[in-house]
Structure 1
C-alpha cells in the first residue's frame, strides 16, 4: 500500500525526496520506495522521518 501521507507531509514541508533523504541519512531511492509501499523502514528510520516532517508515527505510518 502506498504511503500517501508521507508524500503529502513531505510536500507540505516543501522537501524533495532527495532533500528528505539527506536529512534522515538514507538514499533518495529509499524514500521513494517507502512512499511507493515497496520498502518497510526500520522503526528508527520512521522516527527520523517523523522528526524531520514534524509528524507523529501515527500521522505517517499507522494504518487506519
Structure 2
C-alpha cells in the first residue's frame, strides 16, 4: 500500500533494537552538541522542562 498522510503506522518497530540497562550505561550524554556528565545532562534537561530552551539534548547509543 502506498504511504499517505492518513496511513496508520505502528508506534513500535519489530526491527528496533531492544533497550537494556546496559545500553543506557553506554549512552553518551550531550548538551548543546558536547559530551557532558550525567549530572550536568540531568540538570540541563530539568531546566529545559521548566521553560522553553533552544538547547538540544541527545543520547548517542554505541553498539546498537
* TM-score (normalised: structure 1): 0.30
Judging by fraction of residues, say which structure has more strand. Answer: 2
* TM-score (normalised: structure 2): 0.30
Q: Which has the larger radius of gyration?
A: 2
Judging by fraction of residues, say which structure has more helix. Answer: 1
